[in-house]
Amino acid sequence: MSVHRRSIDRLLRPQSVAIVGASPREGSFGEMLTRAVSGWGYGGAIHLVNPRYPEIGGRASFPSLKALPGPPDLVLMAVADDRLEPLMTEAAEAGAGSVAIFGRCYEADTGGRLPMTERLGAIAREAGMAVLGGNCMGFVNIVDKLKVVALAPPVPDRPGPIGLISHSGSTWSGFLANQRQLSFNYVISAGQEIATTLSDYLAFLVEQPETRVVGLILETVRDPAGFLAALEEADRRGIAVVALKLGRSDRAREFTRAHSGAIAGSDAAFDAICRRYNVVRVRTFDEMTDTLELFGRGRPAPADGLAIVTDSGGERQVIVDVAADLGVSLAELSPATRDRLAAKLDPGFEVANPLDAWGDGGYIFEDCLKILADDPAVGVVAMASNMVPARAYLHKIADSVVAAAATTAKPIVAFGNLHSTICRDKAAELRGHGIPVLMGTEPALTALGRFLAFHARRRMPAEAPPASAPQAVVARWREKLARGGEALSATDSLAMLAEFGVATVASRVADSREAAVSAAAALGFPVVLKTANPAILHKTEVGGVSLGLIDGAAVARAYDRVAAACGSAVEIQAYAPDGVELLLGMTHDAQFGPIVTIAAGGVMVELLVDAISLVPPFSAATALAALDRLKLRPLLNGFRGKPATDLARLAQAIERFSVMAAALGDHLSEFDANPVIAGPAGAVAVDGLAVPRHPKHP
């Protein structure tokens, strides 16, 4: 075990805890923290440190950390900010394994020094100490019954399968005090991460035998490499990571020069990371709660389909509508399943999914749930009932769900369409049987859809990575990009694409009227004339493009017009085949490196914002799956008499673009291939814009 990893264990599973600033004064932070640490059954050594008191509450109090009988695993700083730096140094000198800082690490005047957070972090790193915080709420370790928090709500004594890490202290408290019977093992308030990051905590949680799912409430990722390594390990172990990213709107996005940068901000990069590592993204705290409960209690889903039993025809319609909105797959029931259900339903009732099983022939919910669970296309079975308290019917519903769950290995869940009606006691009883109880139609179906998608990806065979680009090609373009300068010309950008295996339209460069006419004749009419001025990035907006030039005279007139507006250098292109306009873009994310974006292309790209982002490189199969997520996808099948796109060749072109992005991503700030025309012959790039990552400035 590495020194750093050992310090994380000493932080979260300490054998000894020292509380600096422990106090007998009731209501003080030091007193509340001491009471929390010592009042729940923690079996490790607890040392109180305060030179003002020889003893506190019957325990000996030490004057300093150096006076302790041995190096403590964890030091809790229950002191004011102005005392943190000397005490941090003392902790390092005493051989402490880790420190928890609750204060804001704030000072009004640094006196020209580095900020306090950086100074404290440097002390910790030099000593090999892990640091929780600063400005954190603390953590709760249910496994070892240790509460490192001054104001801790009641927490169940038995550890569960859910780990939680939060950058939001208030949200951390809310989840810790939840009344949903969410069962945690470790609940960590990360704070400012001055030395130890969310990535370190995630790596720790993934290795714990109790962990089945980890919830992340995060503002940013301060250790991208460690974060990706932890996600990869979680994916390898089949542990679900559920992420709620704060600040998705990214209003402070930097101005970019390529279209792809405008539509693929930092949230798109994070989304691409989640897609690569099978991370489950949620948008709200309620969605996270339902999703954590489902993954924490649910069995794996062996198939893609969801089957639902309801007790209301009207609510069934709402469920169908919401499922369609969310793209949740309702299972297509087999003929055998339909026959078995028909034999149970009252005459005149429709066999469908969702199944309205409320009739006059008695309670048949248990039988229906069991029959649906037997269908090979069904991965999860749900009972949708409002579970209204103080009704005998409530007990029938609950008993049916419990009985059905006992006869199948598939997940059986319950959810209420009106979450405010669900009987809290009965929900707790069902959860005690390992049955998730989800709260409301949309949150429940959202969680179920993500649950099914997670397990569907787990069942997919691993894809072979795409073939690498020739090393000579990679080296040549890296050298060219490393020279810096402004954006590459469209000619060079298209040449780059071509050398990496993306087809491009035939083109020639000219710098006079005569040369333009000659180039057009060589290519064959009709042609397109564009400015080749490298300083003009979006040609259409400045009158730098002329289309449909059918002869030399038209080319001459177009040249004069474009040259007057944009400069003498122009590019003559053969007409591209008709098809669907796409954009293939790459941006270099500050945290995660190159990210590829596939989007609706042409001049409407930023208005439509029909896009998906992926981490390169990836296979043609991944490209096909990404295309299926775009709104323009039906156009690729042919629309209103248009021929269908050769999807296999289009996906291959996207794969090769991703290989280029991965190979050159550290040298490129942005790259646009826009438009890429997709049609029966595959895909051809019509225009390109490559922006070096480190341009030279005069």
Structure tokens at 690: 């490559």
Nearest to residue 151, comparing CAs of 11, 33, 25?
Answer: 33
End-to-end CA distance of the chain: 50
Could you report the per-residue pLDDT of 168-214, keeping only the tens digit for each?
998 999 999 888 889 999 999 999 999 999 999 999 999 999 999 99
State the angle between helix axes of 441-459 and 313-326 in degrees (0 to 180), rounded to the nearest 10. Answer: 50
Per-residue 3-state assignment (H helix, E strand, C coil) for 230-260: HHHHHHHHCCEEEEEECCCCCCCCCCCCCHH
With beta carbons less than 8 A apart as the criterion, state whether 595 and 669 touch: no
- What is the SS3 assignment for 673? strand
Beta pairing partners, 347: none
- Model pTM score: 0.90
Residue 508 CA to residue 515 CA, distance in Å, equals: 10
Could you report the per-residue pLDDT of 102-148, keeping only the tens digit for each?
999 988 888 889 999 999 999 999 999 999 999 999 999 999 999 99
The reply to whether 506-575 shares the fold of 299-459 is no
pLDDT for residue 245? 92
Amino acid letter for position 54: P
With beta carbons less than 8 A apart as the criterion, state whether 354 and 372 touch: no
Beta pairing partners, 597: 585, 613
User: What architecture is domain 506-575?
Assistant: 2-Layer Sandwich (3.30)
Amino acid letter for position 216: L
pLDDT for residue 430? 95
Could you report the per-residue pLDDT of 560-608, keeping only the tens digit for each?
999 999 999 999 999 888 899 999 999 999 889 999 999 998 765 555 5
Residue 272 CA to residue 2 CA, distance in Å, equals: 30
Residue 687 CA to residue 464 CA, distance in Å, equals: 30
Regions of the chain short of the pLDDT cut 50? 1, 251-265, 695-698
Residue 561: Cβ within 10 Å count: 14
Write 424-433 long-range contacts (CB < 8 A, 24+). 424/179, 424/389, 425/389, 426/387, 426/389, 426/394, 426/395, 426/398, 427/181, 427/387, 428/181, 429/398, 430/398, 430/401, 430/402, 431/180, 431/181, 431/293, 431/297, 432/181, 433/402, 433/405
Q: Which residues of 20-31 are buried (b: 16+ CB within 10 A; e: fewer)?
A: bbbbbeeeebbb
**What would the CATH number be for the domain defined by 3-285?**
3.40.50.261
Domain ranges, ordered by start, for the chain: 3-285, 299-459, 506-575, 580-692
Q: Which residues of 32-67 are buried (b: 16+ CB within 10 A; e: fewer)?
A: bbbbbbbebebebebbbbbeebeebeeeebbeebee
With beta carbons less than 8 A apart as the criterion, state whether 449 and 287 touch: no
H or E element, residue 289? helix 285-297
Domain 299-459, CATH among 1.10.3430.10, 3.40.50.10950, 3.40.1000.10, 3.40.50.261: 3.40.50.261
Domain 580-692, CATH among 3.40.47.10, 3.30.470.20, 3.20.20.140, 3.40.440.10: 3.30.470.20
Residue 153 CA to residue 642 CA, distance in Å, equals: 63
